[in-house]
A and B are shown apart, each in its own frame.
Chain A
Amino acid sequence: CSDDFLEIYPETTSSEGNFYQSEKEFILLANGCYTPMRDYEKDTHWVLSELISDNTSFQFNTRTGEAVRGVIDQFIFTPANRAYSRFWDLSYDGITRCNKLLSEIERPEVVWSDDSIRNRTIGEVLFLRALYNFNLVRQFGDIPLVLEPITPQEAFNTKRSAEDVVYESIIADLRSAIMHFESATGALETGRANGDASAALLGKVYLTRKNYTEAETVLASLINEGTYSLVPNYSDVFNSPDTALSEIIFAIQYSENSTELSNRFIFYFAPWTSKGEVTGRPNINIISAGWNQPTVDMIEAFEPGDLRKDVSVKFWTGPDYDDVIRDIPYVGKYNAPVSAPDDRTGDNLPILRYSDVLLMYAEVLNELGRTDEAIPYVEQVRNRAGLTNALAGLSKPDLETLIAKERQVELCFENHRWYDLKRTEKAIDVMTAHGIRQNEEKSFLFNNAYEIAPYKLLSPIPAEQILVNELSQNPGY
């Protein structure tokens, strides 16, 4: 009787001991693998992939002083910057959840109503693990590669693996995910990862690795499958109430229902001086907003007549930080009508879109020397944007340049720019030119703003992890 008296389980959470009963629990765990990514996409990933690039900057604020994000825009990176630790920690949180699920799913006592559900669950988790690792390796280079649940003691012994090894694991995960999804055709659900998302991501991984042959195969089959198409109106890709768009291959799902489920993109991105005029919520204080402000470089990248410009970049006319009235640009893609009473918005964030696939495929073909074959795919994307001039006859280098610019304007503010610059080895040139323009234009920048150096292409490993785990730091920091 004393044992019963002393055996107390928490009422507000379940505990692991009696958890793995049926497939239901594994579906819940798979759902849990999405949330760390949702959380970092909400407030951090755009800092490390968009704000850092030439696409965006921020609206100066005389009253908030220095900020975690402002230094990254100005190319001042320090290992102690909390943006890196948040991104790192959430990534490994997500990876740990994936690993835990994969290690438990083989329990024989669990009865699955349908093998499709089981395969879908495994596929989702492999896809997510690959995506977490892909983002990590693109930010930090060599990273600790964790593919199984590890104890804290084991974590102390897990050091950084070479980029190549990490990429091998990403490719293996995505290949395995595709196989599992092939046997999960009956279990589709909007918002969940699927085989096409895995294929699209695999194509992107191969492209990043400059393995054009493999990229061509996987992207071609995705395009030829015919499941996806561009929606006629570019603006419908964003702010659409329809959650199952033919163009979206994978998107992080948000909802206004609660603080946890929502993002607050517009409350970060609106000019802070606009108070409630942009957000439509005058009672929400946005004194720390004004982030991801499209730069002149970005705005000028749109060709005349590009229908995407007015969708992507909006302007608010009013007092700027110095009380001078200006047309202040801000990100227009995430501006669905807000119905929640506080700072919650439900715009989904596209991770993989069909136009991205088309442009990647065109890039692959061009790199393989099949420039003429590539051009129609670029045109497909441009035509939707109202740019109908024929491209036939472009040289390979010209098409390469055009695709790069096309990716910049088509996919702006969707966290591609920095990775594209690094992948195409244009980052140093582009950022140096950008830095010069920024320094000329803005008197309030930090003294050491935009000191561009090659080592800065890799983010610093977060300082705490260096201290705790004695990980090696990227050179230069």
Chain B
Amino acid sequence: QNKKITFTEDAQLSIEEVLEVVKKQTDYNFIYRSDLFVGSPLVNIKKGTVKVGDLLNRCATLTDLQFKFDENGSIFLKKNPKNVQNKRVQQSVTGTVTDSGGLPLPGANIVEKGTTNGVTADFDGNFSMEVSNDDAILVVSYIGFATNEVPINGQTNLVITLTESAASLDEVVLIGYGTQRSKDLTGAISTIDQKKIQDLPVSSVDQQLVGQLPGVQIQQVSGAPGGGTSVKIRGSGSLGAGNEPLYVVDGMPYSSGLNQNLNPLVFINPNNIESITILKDASSTAIYGSRGANGVIMITTKKGKAGLTQINFTSSYGIQQVPSQGRPDLMNQRQFAEFQRDRIDIEVRQRENREPVNADYPEEYRDLDALVGKGTDWYDLILQAAPTQDYNFSLLKGTENSRMDFNLGYFKQDGVLRHTGVERISSKIGVELDLGEQFKIGASLQPTFINQDRANTNQNRSDVIGVSLWANPISKSHDENGNLVPYITTPQSPYHSTWSFANPLFELQESTRNSKTFQNLGIAYVEWDITPSLNVRSSFNTIFSASKFYAYVPSTVGGANRPPIEGTGSSANTRSDSFNWLTENTIKYENVFGKHRINGLLGYTAQKSKANSISINAGPFSNDLIRTINAAQAIGSWGESVNEWSMISYLGRVNYGFDDRYLLTATFRSDGSSRFGSENRFAFFPSIAGAWRVSEEEFFTENNFVNSMKLRVSYGKSGNNNIGNYSHLASVNAGAYIFGNNQVTASYLGISNPFLTWEESGQFDVGLDLELFNNRISLTLDYYNRKSNDMLLNDVIPTTSGFGTQTINQGSVSNKGFEIALGASIIQGDFNWDLNANMSINRNKILSLNDNTERILAGSNDGNPTHVSVVGKPIGQFYGFELEGVYTSEDLQDPSVINSNQVYVGNVKYKDVDGDGIVNDVLDYTIIGNPHPDFIFGFTNNFSYKSVDLGVIVNGQYGGQVMNGLRQTIDNLQGFFNVSEEWVDRYRSEEQPGDGIHSGIPTARPSWGHRVSSLWVEDASYLRIANLTLGYTLPTEIVEKSGFVKGLRLYGSVQNLAMFTNYSGGNPEGQAINQNNTLAPGFDMSSYPLPRTISIGTNITF
């Protein structure tokens, strides 16, 4: 009776008609006496989907019938024995049932609580019935609305208002390996209504989810088209094995791990997604065992439904631009020339012991007054206004015994950084057939092709964005004839010169970094209903992917201080393919015995994945005309990698409900994985959860304040197996050596750890679900405490062991947090205002590392670490010097300051943390900031008036800091680069001491003003208007006249409308691609900027 029936429109049907529909859409048969329904009321049906069981029970309440499900798909209808005492009529009641806007709800069901006595409202929503006494309670229900219980309290004429319920309690929620009634949930599970986010003009579903869900932090680390986001559910629970959740697409564990270059979710067309469920607590994730510890995001694609034909076409077109907010302010031409002249002055004085003269400067710097304006804006030069477009066609169709879906999509996003972009061609076809009454088979294919042009960004100061920020503003990007200058030789002086560089626009134009990937997700399954309550399902899922990466840097593109040299082109080629298969076999049992509702699941799954990749770096190419490997003079390096893993799992779950009041869930999963050492092959992950629907209790008095209340508690274990494929084995690696002229293999052993195993995390969760004020407000509160143990640490060990690091299972981290989700129908009627808000607080703390390591250093800047993880603090604290300002002459007299060649008036003054009088790298580093936010939040407002709707999504974070890594360059007074405008206030002399924070140009060498310091750490709090969408839905009357169009919606939207932040860089969530996102988070390095997108779209249904 879990089969679903779909109604395409609202209707009023007799019970016999209802049964006909059920017969058509399912394989049930009904056996009843032909006069059984004589005189029965009509049933009101709202369009949508409903379970057979629910539908029939609703019919049953209108009559005194009882439905009995038979083993072979027949349903017997029996009249209940009449209960004469209950029929003792004492009072008659009349009333009207309306929706919150006052419109009548014809066909609403009104039943006296605890009896089978009921009626339906007529066409005007009026009803009249006899009740047993004047304390009776009326249960008023209507599909799509929250059920309302109304005590009569002696009244004889009632006006009963039902509110539309977004998350109606009868809704069915997808959980791992099955579904569950929303009201029966015992775990912390969030869902999102796909309709609310479908118009967002982005390439992947993770970007659509930003700000929508409590406990889910989605960071847009880069704005690159097709680039990945960093997703963390309930904080970081791992140091060495990644913190990204497991994605499950149509039952197939799809991917986990951040791929900043190419987001794995780009392969899933968001237009084709039907629902998204996020499993957060361990009772929900334990069913995914050794992969569940970071949470699970389950994605289901759209499928055909019985009796439905729906053709849908959507399109949108937008223009993206980089907002002016966050563009860095660098010195203008004149300020820059002064800075360079000061630098040359120092050299002249030191080397030649004389005062500098104007002729010492390169000609370009000599006449300061002629240097007006900003100069060349290299950053602006490489950016553009870029179009983005999305077209999608889908067809869903269902007949009596077959259902199919078809989807075809094309998406193209040009990059706001010139010569970058991504293109997606995706499609899906799925069919499901009923074979007889008990068997069902289905299959689907989802082939997708991605073509992506990348640029090197988010890496270091030499990438195109890095260069465009420090490039000399006095040099010109184009020559007198308007042609692009390939290589910029900056003004040269024998005393000091800034770095020359490849014109970043020329580099973007001439170099290639192209990735092409084809991926197919294939699913085939068979289901057998052995009895109505016992179901067996076997499925075989596959992911095949083939990809090709090709990069070519022609000889015309130089580098920093590296002018182009003819005949030096180089190429990099990678070809990869992977095949991942999974077979799942489950048996499900579901039944109701009186007040006992029970369902159970047992399953066995096996999965294997193999990925091959071959890479060849070739060069130099004698000319750039032919760029294939055959034209290269040599192959510089090459390699092949094969990565294989397998997994066998046993899983089970029991849900038990008593009287809809007490709910209990117990699950287990046992995973055996090839990744685990032979000593620890199988892992066991149990969980248990309970819920109490307090509002169903007798003592819970009916009131209009709290309509529903559920208390949930859960505890369970889940794991993280992201430990690399062969980490437990000592590999024998093959190098090469040569004796005389004989090349030989030179072997050496890697380090082994046969005990290496999964990380384990135990999570306790307590939650409260409330429906308040006539169901107009829903509130969910969750507190959790997650402790991750046996963490995989890439432990730094003494190199006297022969190795620098070893992966071990040790250490623990706790994440404690609080989540709040609020849904409210603030105003209802012609004008509607719905609000969804969420806020999450997470506190991360390292409880222990290991016996040998007090701290884990991470990140890299100028060869020194930028982050530290220590016990008692959150993971990945910023680490560096604390800037105290500038040395003054008083400091030099201070006896506690030991005179070194870095101690002189005007030089940068870092804090001597260990107090030994000398400031030393690393030894005097200290914690200078925390990248973790105090809390994150999101709220979505939806307004509608008749056919017009307006949606606003706001999200943000409060607290937490970000380190701008490019400051190593643009705060670097060595004089090789342009620097931030704030350095105009630098120390220049005793007479012009500047602002006391910005030191002078270094006169001692080596200089060290460009070390990581507290100056680099900035507040990362932000508030972003992530989206604003204004839509217009053509009224049904007009649409219907056209004859074939069923619905038409037009909308305009602005994505990333505005951001309010104190961060001076472009993106407070930016993250360098080459820095570990767990141990060195919040390190923004020449980030690809996030565009603002203004788009228009249509959505037509036929």
- Contact assessment for B732 and A19 in the assembled complex, using a CB-CB cutoff below 8 Å: yes
Task: Name the A residues within 8 Å of B798 (CB-CB).
Answer: 144, 152, 155-156, 158, 465, 468-469, 471
- Contact assessment for A15 and B730 in the assembled complex, using a CB-CB cutoff below 8 Å: yes
Task: Name the A residues within 8 Å of B242 (CB-CB).
Answer: none
Q: Given contacts A10-B726, A66-B1005, A257-B738, is CB(A89)–CB(B799) below 8 Å? A: yes
Per the bound structure, the CA–CA distance linking A95 and B800 in Å amounts to 9
Q: Given contacts A156-B852, A191-B740, A285-B565, is CB(A28)–CB(B620) below 8 Å? A: no
- Contact assessment for A15 and B801 in the assembled complex, using a CB-CB cutoff below 8 Å: no
Per the bound structure, the CA–CA distance linking A224 and B523 in Å amounts to 80
Binary A-proximity of B769-787 (CB < 8 A = 1, otherwise 0): 0000000000000000000
Task: Name the A residues within 8 Å of B751 (CB-CB).
Answer: 152
Q: Given contacts A10-B731, A150-B801, A323-B494, is CB(A65)–CB(B974) below 8 Å? A: yes
Task: Name the B residues within 8 Å of A6 (CB-CB).
Answer: 646-648, 672-674, 681
- Contact assessment for A8 and B735 in the assembled complex, using a CB-CB cutoff below 8 Å: no
Q: Would you call B725 an interface residue if the criterion is a C-beta within 8 Å of the partner chain's C-beta atoms?
A: yes
Q: Would you call A227 an interface residue if the criterion is a C-beta within 8 Å of the partner chain's C-beta atoms?
A: no
Tell me the A444-463 residues at the B interface (CB within 8 Å): 444, 446-448, 463
Task: Name the A residues within 8 Å of B739 (CB-CB).
Answer: 189-192, 253
A144: contacting residue among B641, B725, B750, B800, CB under 8 A: B800
9-residue interface stretch from B294-302, B456-464, B631-639: B631-639
Per the bound structure, the CA–CA distance linking A65 and B496 in Å amounts to 10
Residue of A nearest to B855 (CB): A467
- Contact assessment for B634 and A342 in the assembled complex, using a CB-CB cutoff below 8 Å: yes
Q: Would you call A217 an interface residue if the criterion is a C-beta within 8 Å of the partner chain's C-beta atoms?
A: no
- Contact assessment for B801 and A155 in the assembled complex, using a CB-CB cutoff below 8 Å: yes
- Contact assessment for B797 and A156 in the assembled complex, using a CB-CB cutoff below 8 Å: yes
A94 to chain B, nearest CB (A): 9
B619: contacting residue among A95, A258, A260, A342, CB under 8 A: A342
**Residue of A2, A10, A14, A95 most packed against chain B (CB within 10 A):** A10
9-residue interface stretch from A30-38, A42-50, A109-117, A423-431: A30-38
Tell me the A278-326 residues at the B interface (CB within 8 Å): 282-285, 287, 322-323
**Residue of B725, B751, B922, B974 most packed against chain A (CB within 10 A):** B922
Task: Name the B residues within 8 Å of A12 (CB-CB).
Answer: 640-642
Q: Would you call B746 an interface residue if the criterion is a C-beta within 8 Å of the partner chain's C-beta atoms?
A: yes
Per the bound structure, the CA–CA distance linking A340 and B635 in Å amounts to 11
Task: Name the A residues within 8 Å of B648 (CB-CB).
Answer: 2, 5-6
Binary A-proximity of B753-796 (CB < 8 A = 1, otherwise 0): 00000000000000000000000000000000000000000011
Residue of A nearest to B974 (CB): A65
Task: Name the A residues within 8 Å of B806 (CB-CB).
Answer: 152
- Contact assessment for A283 and B620 in the assembled complex, using a CB-CB cutoff below 8 Å: yes
Task: Name the B residues within 8 Å of A150 (CB-CB).
Answer: 800-801
B1012 to chain A, nearest CB (A): 14
Q: Would you call A88 an interface residue if the criterion is a C-beta within 8 Å of the partner chain's C-beta atoms?
A: yes
Task: Name the B residues within 8 Å of A244 (CB-CB).
Answer: 740
- Contact assessment for A189 and B740 in the assembled complex, using a CB-CB cutoff below 8 Å: yes
- Contact assessment for A2 and B672 in the assembled complex, using a CB-CB cutoff below 8 Å: yes
Q: Would you call B804 an interface residue if the criterion is a C-beta within 8 Å of the partner chain's C-beta atoms?
A: yes
Per the bound structure, the CA–CA distance linking A463 and B496 in Å amounts to 32
Tell me the A1-34 residues at the B interface (CB within 8 Å): 2-3, 5-17, 19, 25, 27-29, 31-32, 34
Residue of B nearest to A467 (CB): B922
Per the bound structure, the CA–CA distance linking A88 and B806 in Å amounts to 18
B565: contacting residue among A25, A85, A255, A282, CB under 8 A: A282
Chain A contact-residue range equals 35 or more
Q: Given contacts A342-B636, A443-B352, A463-B922, is CB(A468)–CB(B735) below 8 Å? A: no
B133 to chain A, nearest CB (A): 65
A36 to chain B, nearest CB (A): 9
Q: Given contacts A12-B642, A35-B746, is CB(A340)–CB(B634) below 8 Å? A: yes
Task: Name the A residues within 8 Å of B801 (CB-CB).
Answer: 92, 96, 150-152, 154-155
A103 to chain B, nearest CB (A): 11
Task: Name the B residues within 8 Å of A78 (CB-CB).
Answer: 921
Per the bound structure, the CA–CA distance linking A80 and B1011 in Å amounts to 14
Task: Name the A residues within 8 Å of B674 (CB-CB).
Answer: 5-8
Per the bound structure, the CA–CA distance linking A76 and B901 in Å amounts to 12
B731: contacting residue among A15, A64, A65, A71, CB under 8 A: A15
Per the bound structure, the CA–CA distance linking A95 and B748 in Å amounts to 11
**Residue of B351, B645, B746 most packed against chain A (CB within 10 A):** B746
- Contact assessment for B800 and A259 in the assembled complex, using a CB-CB cutoff below 8 Å: no
Chain B contact-residue range equals 35 or more
Q: Would you call B802 an interface residue if the criterion is a C-beta within 8 Å of the partner chain's C-beta atoms?
A: yes
B499: contacting residue among A19, A63, A151, A322, CB under 8 A: A63
A102 to chain B, nearest CB (A): 13
Task: Name the A residues within 8 Å of B736 (CB-CB).
Answer: 35, 258, 260-261
Q: Would you call B729 an interface residue if the criterion is a C-beta within 8 Å of the partner chain's C-beta atoms?
A: yes
- Contact assessment for A35 and B748 in the assembled complex, using a CB-CB cutoff below 8 Å: yes
Q: Given contacts A93-B802, A465-B798, is CB(A31)–CB(B744) below 8 Å? A: yes
- Contact assessment for B1006 and A8 in the assembled complex, using a CB-CB cutoff below 8 Å: no
Task: Name the B residues within 8 Å of A34 (CB-CB).
Answer: 737, 746
- Contact assessment for B672 and A257 in the assembled complex, using a CB-CB cutoff below 8 Å: no
Task: Name the B residues within 8 Å of A153 (CB-CB).
Answer: 852
Per the bound structure, the CA–CA distance linking A336 and B853 in Å amounts to 48
Tell me the B894-908 residues at the A interface (CB within 8 Å): 901
Tell me the A225-271 residues at the B interface (CB within 8 Å): 243-244, 253-255, 257-261
Q: Would you call B76 an interface residue if the criterion is a C-beta within 8 Å of the partner chain's C-beta atoms?
A: no
- Contact assessment for A31 and B1005 in the assembled complex, using a CB-CB cutoff below 8 Å: no
Q: Would you call B752 an interface residue if the criterion is a C-beta within 8 Å of the partner chain's C-beta atoms?
A: yes
Q: Would you call B568 an interface residue if the criterion is a C-beta within 8 Å of the partner chain's C-beta atoms?
A: yes
- Contact assessment for A443 and B350 in the assembled complex, using a CB-CB cutoff below 8 Å: yes
- Contact assessment for B800 and A155 in the assembled complex, using a CB-CB cutoff below 8 Å: yes
A15: contacting residue among B619, B729, B901, CB under 8 A: B729
A341: contacting residue among B633, B744, B803, B974, CB under 8 A: B633
Q: Would you call A146 an interface residue if the criterion is a C-beta within 8 Å of the partner chain's C-beta atoms?
A: yes
Q: Given contacts A6-B673, A96-B802, is CB(A80)–CB(B863) below 8 Å? A: yes
Task: Name the B residues within 8 Å of A95 (CB-CB).
Answer: 802
A110 to chain B, nearest CB (A): 15
Binary A-proximity of B1083-1094 (CB < 8 A = 1, otherwise 0): 000000000000
Q: Would you call B562 an interface residue if the criterion is a C-beta within 8 Å of the partner chain's C-beta atoms?
A: yes
- Contact assessment for B566 and A283 in the assembled complex, using a CB-CB cutoff below 8 Å: yes
A29: contacting residue among B740, B748, B750, B1004, CB under 8 A: B748
Per the bound structure, the CA–CA distance linking A95 and B566 in Å amounts to 44
B969 to chain A, nearest CB (A): 12
Q: Would you call A422 an interface residue if the criterion is a C-beta within 8 Å of the partner chain's C-beta atoms?
A: no
Q: Would you call A118 an interface residue if the criterion is a C-beta within 8 Å of the partner chain's C-beta atoms?
A: no
- Contact assessment for B799 and A5 in the assembled complex, using a CB-CB cutoff below 8 Å: no
Per the bound structure, the CA–CA distance linking A159 and B901 in Å amounts to 33
Q: Would you call B605 an interface residue if the criterion is a C-beta within 8 Å of the partner chain's C-beta atoms?
A: no
B567 to chain A, nearest CB (A): 5
Q: Given contacts A6-B646, A323-B494, A342-B620, is CB(A25)–CB(B738) below 8 Å? A: no
Task: Name the A residues within 8 Å of B640 (CB-CB).
Answer: 12
Task: Name the B residues within 8 Å of A333 (CB-CB).
Answer: none
Given A15-B729, A65-B976, A97-B802, 4 additional A-B pairs, CB 8 A:
A7-B678, A15-B730, A156-B798, A287-B561
Q: List 7 A-B contacts (CB under 8 A).
A: A16-B731, A16-B749, A31-B747, A32-B737, A32-B748, A464-B796, A468-B853
Report, nearest first, the 6 A-B pairs whose CB atoms are least far apart. A96-B802, A190-B740, A191-B739, A155-B801, A31-B746, A28-B747
Residues of B in contact with A (beta carbons under 8 Å apart): 350-352, 494-497, 499, 555, 559, 561-562, 565-568, 606, 608, 619-620, 633-634, 636-637, 640-642, 644-648, 672-674, 678, 681, 725-726, 729-752, 795-804, 806, 852-853, 863-864, 901, 921-922, 974, 976, 1004-1007
Residues of A in contact with B (beta carbons under 8 Å apart): 2-3, 5-17, 19, 25, 27-29, 31-32, 34-35, 38, 62-66, 71, 76, 78, 80, 82, 85, 88-89, 92-93, 95-97, 100, 144, 146, 149-156, 158, 189-192, 243-244, 253-255, 257-261, 282-285, 287, 322-323, 340-342, 443-444, 446-448, 463-465, 467-469, 471
